[in-house]
A and B are shown apart, each in its own frame.
Chain A
């Protein structure tokens, strides 16, 4: 097994870690801020519990997977170029994920891309599940329209929140454009 296979294996595992851990972090934050539009369960206690469980499970799974999935685990002896892939022994588990990016491990840039992908998937999952779980929740119209940004997820789902935020943002931009235009014309009028 070569560099490409090792990189693919690490990338898949890291993406799973990024997804589960991001989902956990989003759920913990959504429980704190009462963002029901992102809740993947019906009440705050369950959301908080799921947040902790997902975060812990993501990290635990990532570090335990070498026990049953063969790979180029641990590489203090990375001078050995063509090591056969094996599962890690329990006593070597702490070193299993320490593989140099020159030998199929993940570079900082690759980690950043996978983290972003994992976060995007986690946010989409939260927003989709939130819309389903809370579809019966009654939302006061005035509350939905008074709040923009993430805060709108307290009263509605992602579609409501996005449309309100974009409407407010674009109307503000138009207003500021109009003000700028007006200012320019009055400046022009004042000039001799």
Chain B
């Protein structure tokens, strides 16, 4: 807890110092930009496969990403309700807020959990895009600590939870077969292979 507060103080201490950094933090920590870009990656994956095996792999990855999004959101909500941790700006004095003061519990960081889970699911099928999304989630988490609305451990827990859910979502899809396959085919999808090709 002491280390958590110390790291929070260091990161939040950067807020209000440099105007350009504050603008960047406000943009990256926002509810819309990073989550939207991660979902757009799933849209891109659905259509972007250039041949049948790649298309099947990409569409399975997109489906795993959607499953990861839903599961991670649910898991983060349940844990937040159970733990009920207070936000740093309600506990500590002298916090510089660069973001609106959220009213829901702090642990784990909900948006970071979701973005990292989508990134991890994408990583299973497309290494490059998956890595970019996961890092996007990490940067968003750091920005939210700087903005004064999350503890560092909220973000660390969210990253671990997101990685775990993202990595297991494609496994979950296999367990649910043939439902995902039929759903995919019904929406102009390509027949899914039982084993995906290694990611790129």
Contact with A94, one of B26, B102, B189 (Cβ below 8 angstroms): B26
Q: Are A151 and B190 in contact (CB under 8 A)?
A: yes
Q: Are A95 and B98 in contact (CB under 8 A)?
A: yes
Contact with A25, one of B27, B43, B55, B182 (Cβ below 8 angstroms): B43
Q: Is residue B40 within 8 Å, beta carbon to beta carbon, of the partner chain?
A: yes
Contact with A along B15-38 (1 / 0, CB 8 A): 000010011101101111101100
Q: What's the interface size class on A, roughly?
A: 35 or more
Given contacts A59-B33, A100-B100, A100-B103, 5 further A-B contacts (CB under 8 A): A29-B47, A78-B100, A97-B30, A147-B52, A149-B55
Q: Are B100 and A150 in contact (CB under 8 A)?
A: no
Q: Are A150 and B49 in contact (CB under 8 A)?
A: yes
Contact with B47, one of A33, A59, A103, A106 (Cβ below 8 angstroms): A33
Q: Are B39 and A151 in contact (CB under 8 A)?
A: no
Q: Are B50 and A99 in contact (CB under 8 A)?
A: no
Q: Is the interface of A mostly helix, strand, loop or mixed?
A: helix
Contacts of A134 in B (CB 8 A): none
Question: Complex formed: what's the CA distance from A97 to B99 in Å?
Answer: 10
Contacts of A108 in B (CB 8 A): 31, 73, 110, 114
Question: Complex formed: what's the CA distance from A184 to B49 in Å?
Answer: 39
Q: Are B185 and A169 in contact (CB under 8 A)?
A: yes
Contacts of B22 in A (CB 8 A): 94
Q: Are B189 and A76 in contact (CB under 8 A)?
A: no
Question: Complex formed: what's the CA distance from A38 to B22 in Å?
Answer: 40
Q: What's the interface size class on B, roughly?
A: 35 or more
Q: Are A34 and B50 in contact (CB under 8 A)?
A: yes
Q: Is residue B46 within 8 Å, beta carbon to beta carbon, of the partner chain?
A: yes
Q: Are A98 and B100 in contact (CB under 8 A)?
A: yes
Chain A residues within CB distance 8 Å of chain B: 14, 17-18, 21-22, 25-26, 28-30, 32-35, 38, 55, 59, 62-63, 75-76, 78, 91, 93-95, 97-100, 102-103, 105-106, 108, 111, 115, 119, 147-153, 161-162, 165, 169
Q: Is residue B97 within 8 Å, beta carbon to beta carbon, of the partner chain?
A: yes
Question: Complex formed: what's the CA distance from A153 to B50 in Å?
Answer: 12
Most A-side CB within 10 Å, residue of B39, B55, B182: B39
Q: Are A21 and B36 in contact (CB under 8 A)?
A: yes
Contacts of A153 in B (CB 8 A): 188
Contacts of A35 in B (CB 8 A): 47
Question: Complex formed: what's the CA distance from A106 to B30 in Å?
Answer: 11
Contacts of B191 in A (CB 8 A): 148-149
Contacts of A93 in B (CB 8 A): 23
Contacts of A147 in B (CB 8 A): 52
Q: Are A29 and B46 also in contact (CB < 8 A) when A148-B190, A161-B188, A162-B188 are? A: yes
Question: Complex formed: what's the CA distance from A99 to B101 in Å?
Answer: 9
Q: Is residue B6 within 8 Å, beta carbon to beta carbon, of the partner chain?
A: no
Contacts of A152 in B (CB 8 A): 188
Contacts of A102 in B (CB 8 A): 103
Output the least CB separation between B147 and chain A (Å): 9
Q: Is residue B179 within 8 Å, beta carbon to beta carbon, of the partner chain?
A: no
The 7 A-B residue pairs whose C-beta atoms are closest, nearest first, are A29-B47, A29-B48, A94-B26, A94-B23, A149-B190, A75-B100, A100-B100
Output the least CB separation between B69 and chain A (Å): 8
Contacts of A119 in B (CB 8 A): 43
**Smallest CB-CB separation from A24: which chain B residue?**
B40
